[in-house]
Amino acid sequence: LKKKINQVPVIDADERLKGMVTDIDLMRGIYEKS
């Protein structure tokens, strides 16, 4: 149970990081198109 609790913030931070990278890629694509 302790391991699960400790792993949640790591997974959450990783998902946020992936989301940020995706947003940057989308913004770059929009910027290059216009």
Distance, CA of 15 to CA of 27 (rounded, Å): 18
pLDDT digits (tens, 9 = 90+) for 1-34: 666 666 666 667 778 788 888 888 988 988 887 7
Please identify which residue in the block is written with the tokens 């929009």. Answer: 30
pTM, full prediction = 0.42
**Residue-level pLDDT at 18:** 83
Distance, CA of 34 to CA of 32 (rounded, Å): 6
**Residue-level pLDDT at 6:** 64
User: Could you give the count of Cα atoms lying within 13 Å of 34 in the half-sphere of its Cβ?
Assistant: 6
Joined together, the tokens standing for residue 26 give 């989308």
What are the structural domain ranges in the chain?
1-34
